[in-house]
Amino acid sequence: MGRRCWRRRALAAACLGAALLLLGAAPRALRPAFENSLGSGWLSGKRRSPLQMLYDVDQGSRSAMAEVHRQRRDLLRRACSRHTRRQRLLGPEDLRHVLVDDAHGLLYCYVPKVACTNWKRVLLALSGRARGDPRAIPAHEAHAPGRLPSLADFSPAEINRRLRAYLAFLFVREPFERLASAYRNKLARPYSAAFQRRYGTRIVRRLRPRAHPDALARGHDVRFAEFLAYLLDPRTRREEPFNEHWERAHALCHPCRLRYDVVGKFETLAEDAAFVLDLVGAPGLRFPAPPPRAKEAAARDLAERLFRDISPFYQRRLYDLYRMDFLLFNYSAPSYLRLH
């Protein structure tokens, strides 16, 4: 990674500090950030932090996984430089999706539909907020508000200290497979009644002429084409931000404003999760097993099947809406799209 990389990290923290109207400046190098920061066990010198471990790996003989993640960081940085121009300044609320583990020096930006339930379970186990096997933690407990602190909960000075000293990571997924998964789980499944009443009824009311009273009351039968039309309707984002389950990953995690040390992918979940946990130094903790390959293939087939009936015009418009996620995280446009 080298000194230039760490200087860029300090500069990113300094830029956020300016956005939050901080008076102080971020340090120019990595090591002072560790010496002056937050007093966790690893900061007292008893053990090396995950960020220091990553630095050691990058400076030493590189493993194949370390090289993969170095390349992903470089690709993300180049894509940000190429495809972003003027960006708005971030405030604390923009950091709501970045979860904090002070005990281990971790910042995790969660993206729904990208194994975030299991990552929250792992962070609860790491932080001691839950005992035992992460897989035994109920999903509702993992998602309960306040169970894990968010970076947005801290003062600007505390935010910047963590940005300088902690390992920051996120996990992303092929954008249209994630979108298809969100539609299936939140709008097409019978156990999502509360979600359907909130969003499904709104979609039916707006986009389905002469809708059946039952559909207007329950929102339980939203078609995929209606869901996409809702996303593309300018009124949707004027009324409120996208729901996190279909908001773009770059809009949740701001990867061109915050520096991420590890960019994990759903497609290589097991390997990437093990890489992060190796840096943390938690040998007794295993990330819950990812879906089997057959399920991954089924997710790809679902996306292809759903998009098959969408006109090329709307495919293009939807690709443009999610274009930055494709570009920043190095995903190719799916072969089933008719974009030309």
Q: Taking 70 as the threshold, does the pLDDT of residue 189 lie above it?
A: yes
The pLDDT value recorded for residue 43 is 53
Q: Is residue 20 part of a domain?
A: no
The pLDDT value recorded for residue 20 is 46
Helix extents (H) in the chain: 2-19, 30-35, 50-59, 64-83, 116-127, 139-142, 156-165, 175-187, 193-195, 201-207, 213-218, 224-232, 234-239, 249-253, 269-280, 293-308, 312-321, 323-328
The pLDDT value recorded for residue 340 is 74
Q: How many whole angstroms separate alpha carbon 233 and alpha carbon 308? A: 21
Q: What is the pLDDT of residues 260-317, one digit of tens each?
A: 999 999 999 999 999 999 999 987 888 988 777 767 788 889 999 999 999 999 999 9
Mean pLDDT within 78-85: 92
Q: Taking 70 as the threshold, does the pLDDT of residue 71 lie above it?
A: yes
Mean pLDDT within 245-274: 96
The pLDDT value recorded for residue 17 is 45
Position with higher pLDDT, 168 vs 294: 168
Instruction: Report percent pLDDT > 70 for the chain.
Output: 86
Position with higher pLDDT, 208 vs 91: 208
Position with higher pLDDT, 132 vs 174: 174
Q: Taking 80 as the threshold, does the pLDDT of residue 113 lie above it?
A: yes
Q: Is residue 132 part of a domain?
A: yes
Mean pLDDT within 163-169: 97
Q: Is residue 208 part of a domain?
A: yes
Q: Is residue 38 part of a domain?
A: no
130 three-class SS: coil
Q: Taking 60 as the threshold, does the pLDDT of residue 16 lie above it?
A: no
Mean pLDDT within 86-112: 93
Mean pLDDT within 78-102: 91
Q: Taking 80 as the threshold, does the pLDDT of residue 84 lie above it?
A: yes
Query: Which pLDDT band holds residue 15 (cuts at 50, 70, 90)?
Result: very low
Q: Taking 70 as the threshold, does the pLDDT of residue 334 lie above it?
A: yes
Q: Is residue 170 part of a domain?
A: yes
Q: What is the pLDDT of residues 22-31, one digit of tens each?
A: 322 333 233 3
The pLDDT value recorded for residue 317 is 97
What angle do the packed helices 64-83 and 50-59 form, to 10 degrees?
100
Residue where the block lists tokens 């035994």: 136
Contact present, 260 and 254 (Cβ < 8 Å): no
Q: Taking 70 as the threshold, does the pLDDT of residue 89 lie above it?
A: yes
Least confident range from 41-55, 102-116, 134-148, 184-198: namely: 41-55
Q: In what order do the strands lie in the sheet with 98-101?
A: 98-101, 106-109, 167-172, 262-265
The pLDDT value recorded for residue 283 is 76
How far apart, in Å, are the Cα atoms of 87 and each of 16, 249, 257, 304? 12, 16, 8, 33
Tell me, letter by letter, the H, E, C secondary structure of 284-329: CCCCCCCCCHHHHHHHHHHHHHHHHCCCHHHHHHHHHHCHHHHHHC
Q: Is residue 32 part of a domain?
A: no
Contact present, 231 and 38 (Cβ < 8 Å): no
What angle do the packed helices 175-187 and 224-232 form, to 10 degrees?
120
Q: Is residue 102 part of a domain?
A: yes
Mean pLDDT within 105-114: 97
Q: What is the mean pLDDT of the chain?
A: 86
265 three-class SS: strand
What does residue 80 show for φ and ψ, rounded to 5 degrees? -60, -45
Question: Which residues fall within 8 angstroms of residue 189, CB to CB, at 6 or more apart?
Answer: none
Q: Which domain holds residue 288?
A: 50-329
Q: Taking 90 as the threshold, does the pLDDT of residue 58 lie above it?
A: no
Q: What is the pTM of this model?
A: 0.87
Q: How many separate domains does the chain show?
A: 1
Mean pLDDT within 46-73: 87
The pLDDT value recorded for residue 48 is 85
Q: Is residue 12 part of a domain?
A: no
